[in-house]
Structures are given as C-alpha cells and as structure tokens.
Amino acid sequence: MRCNKIHLPNCMEINCADDCCRYGVDVLPEEYRRIILSNLATSQEFTRPYKRDGELIYRTKLGKRGCVLLMPRRGCRLHLSGHKPITCQTFPKNLSEAKTANRQGYLPCLDIMKPGP
C-alpha cells in the first residue's frame, strides 16, 4: 500500500487570518511554565487550569480575533520562539480532524495542501 505524505504549508505564508487560532489553545503545565518563564505571555492570558481526561490543562484566553497570543497583524507570539505548544504543532492530528476543521471554517489552508511523494 502506498501512502502519500501531506505537506503542511508554512503558516506565516498562507493568507488565513490565523483562523485555526480562533478558539485558543490548550497547553500542558510544563508548556505553560515555559511560556510564562520566557516572558512570551502572562498568567492572566490563560484560564485557570482544569482537568481533561485526567490531565491538567491550561487554555489561552480569547481576544477579539481569537487566541490572545496572536500578534496584532499576523501570526502567534510563539511561532518563532521554540515554545509552540504541542497542540499547535500537531494540529490537525489526522485528515479527519483537518476536514472537520476546514468544513467549520477554521483550517482554510487544507484547500491548498498537496500530497507529496
């Protein structure tokens, strides 16, 4: 069976208005601490921690455009910092999640993804 690899576009080169960030992002406690200690965000920019599937999670709060970590014009404060949360690095997890997000209007770059060799 032959598998095609999906080549994800560079988020900073796609005209998507940061739509995939409209709901904020869940971060693990160690990611939360790293982001705070690196002065990339403040604790006030996150919700109080909550448990999901037995795991402690923080979520970024929302501003006018979505996640409060979005910069005024384009992109996220974390994109080039090396502190991008695992949720952001792995979204979408699979083609089904990508198609659902695309149908709901928050993953427009799916339309331009091309299968690779």
Q: Which amino acid, residue 95?
A: L
Contacts of 89 (CB under 8 A, 6+ apart): none
Q: Is residue 14 predicted with pLDDT exceeding 90?
A: no
- What's the mean per-residue pLDDT of the chain? 80
Mean pLDDT on 26-44: 95
Q: Which one has a higher pLDDT value, 17 or 51?
A: 51
| Contact call for residues 12 and 73 (beta carbons, < 8 A) | no
| Contact call for residues 4 and 115 (beta carbons, < 8 A) | yes
Mean pLDDT on 15-42: 86
| Contact call for residues 65 and 74 (beta carbons, < 8 A) | no
Confidence of residue 4 (pLDDT cuts 50, 70, 90): low
